[in-house]
Structure 1
Amino acid sequence: MLLLGCALAVMTAVVGIYGLVRGPGGTAAESPDARPPRVEAVADPTDDAVTLENRTLPHTTDPVAYARAVAVSLFNWDTTAGFLPTDYTSAVLADADPSGEETPGLLTDVATYLPTVEQWLDLGAMKVEQTIEIDQAYVPDSWVDAVEQAHGHLRPGTTAVTITGTRHRTGVWNGEVAESSYPVSFTIFVACRPSFERCHVLRLSELDNPLR
């Protein structure tokens, strides 16, 4: 009973910390839309020739595909391209919760995923570029349990997608090319149908502290 109580507390914290639980006035859970996921063609955020102004996220109803695009948008950047960290996060923030409820939290989340301006300038002096190689993108088992424990108080269509992969960085150190790679993991909370016509990003977990 003690273990069960702890488990239920963890599930409540998972959805409560990120402000995803809906109060009595929230929309009750609805049956998922029977239509298959829909994806509209947009600019590929991994294409080096694409300007930041065109790095929009895909208009899709597939939460996993959408979460992968969010990850790429946050982790693929180049300090020598003449942009600041806020330029790279703009595409994700532009696709935030249309209701605005989760936007303040998302602003805080996103800021922890990129270097500060001061760090950015230091990395720029070393010509640092970063990319992410995604190994897995999946709905964690703990999220399935969390949805059950929420008893319909989650926004319909809300899904947690955990991303695991490797962050690669290249730069110049003491006049020589340097490279580094290390594992990274995190969870992206998105809301799709039936709440919205397509997926939108709600919140991000703490970096390297994903739901499993």
Structure 2
Amino acid sequence: MRTPDVSDPRIRRRLIAAAAAGVVFLILAGIGIYGLITGPRTTTGTDDPTGSEPSSTAPETPGSTTTPRLPSVPRSDDPETFARNVAEALFTWDTASGFFPLDYTSVILDVGDPSGTERAGLASDVAAHLPAREAWLELRKYLTTQHLTIETIFVPEAWDTAVEQARPGQLAEGTTAYTIEGTRHREGFWNDEPVTSEHAVSFTVFIVCPPDGDDCHLLRLSQLDNPLK
């Protein structure tokens, strides 16, 4: 097999293009964001991609004619504002509310990509950020609540690099990423005494904001404490 002549401008351009595509793949696939680079997937059947955990319904207030619902994620056509809204909704929960993790997952999925391309992956991402059902039931004994204080939010350099090196059409127009750093606050009761804890967290949200001015949508989430830098 003859070794390619890298001095040939045409061969050099092919090698550079291949290397650039490889960098984008490593940045995105390395954190599990396969759908952003592989395009839409087709699904069949009626399996629920969010998992088998049954959704709960919070007890109704006597005399109430409506079923209580969790607050929806505020929509926005501004990327940073939307990223903040998603982050705060993701980390805000109350184990004594009568809802379960799947209910909180559903709230996040409501602002996901309406095409459904990333729904299964996003559901898995959200579940990884929430307590498992068994842990939730244990936390409920202590009336545990949680919320997030955002300290910094920025578009990571790694994402800028990915966009610069992406091939035309590889990323949907308006797709961006925000890395969020903040503090997770938990409050509860132990032996009838209030207790609190704080923990630094960081993660990246991948969103798409259509250039026509429509509301942004959430695509995927990075692993907790493994954000793009």
Quickly name the TM-score band, shorter chain normalised. Answer: 0.7 to 0.9
Name the structure 1 match of 2:81.
Answer: 65
In the alignment, structure 1 residue 91 sits paired with structure 2 residue 91: no
In the alignment, structure 1 residue 202 sits paired with structure 2 residue 215: no
Per-residue CA deviations over 1:115-148 (Å, capped at 9, x if unaligned) read 1111111000011110100001111111010011
Whether contact under 8 Å (1:185, 1:208) holds in the other structure is: yes
- 1:95, 1:167 → 2: CA distance? 22
Task: Work out which of the two has the higher radius of gyration on C-alpha atoms and give 1 or 2.
Answer: 2
The structure 2 residue matched to 1:180, chosen from 186, 192, 197, is 197
Alignment of 1:1-212 (within 5 A): 9-16=22-29, 17-18=32-33, 19-21=35-37, 53=69, 55-152=71-168, 153-194=170-211, 197-212=214-229
- 1:99, 1:56 → 2: CA distance? 19
Q: Which has the higher contact order (CA 8 A, sep 6+)?
A: 1
- 2:20, 2:38 → 1: CA distance? 20
- 1:10, 1:119 → 2: CA distance? 38
Name the structure 2 match of 1:38.
Answer: none
- 1:6, 1:156 → 2: CA distance? 22
- 1:54, 1:86 → 2: CA distance? 11
Gaps of 5+ in 2: 1-17, 40-66
Whether contact under 8 Å (1:73, 1:89) holds in the other structure is: no
- 1:22, 1:211 → 2: CA distance? 20
TM superposition outliers: structure 1 runs of 4+ over 3 Å: 5-11
- 2:223, 2:178 → 1: CA distance? 13
Gaps of 5+ in 1: 24-50
Identity %: 48
Whether contact under 8 Å (1:97, 1:103) holds in the other structure is: yes
What is the letter of the counterpart of residue 196 of structure 2?
A: E
What is the letter of the counterpart of residue 186 of structure 2?
A: R
Deviation at 1:8, TM superposition (A): 7.2
- 2:26, 2:108 → 1: CA distance? 25
- 2:73, 2:175 → 1: CA distance? 18
Deviation at 1:15, TM superposition (A): 2.5
- 2:212, 2:117 → 1: CA distance? 13
What is the letter of the counterpart of residue 211 of structure 1?
A: L
- 2:227, 2:20 → 1: CA distance? 16
Whether contact under 8 Å (2:21, 2:166) holds in the other structure is: no
Name the structure 2 match of 1:31.
Answer: none
Whether contact under 8 Å (1:22, 1:154) holds in the other structure is: no
Aligned pair count reads 181
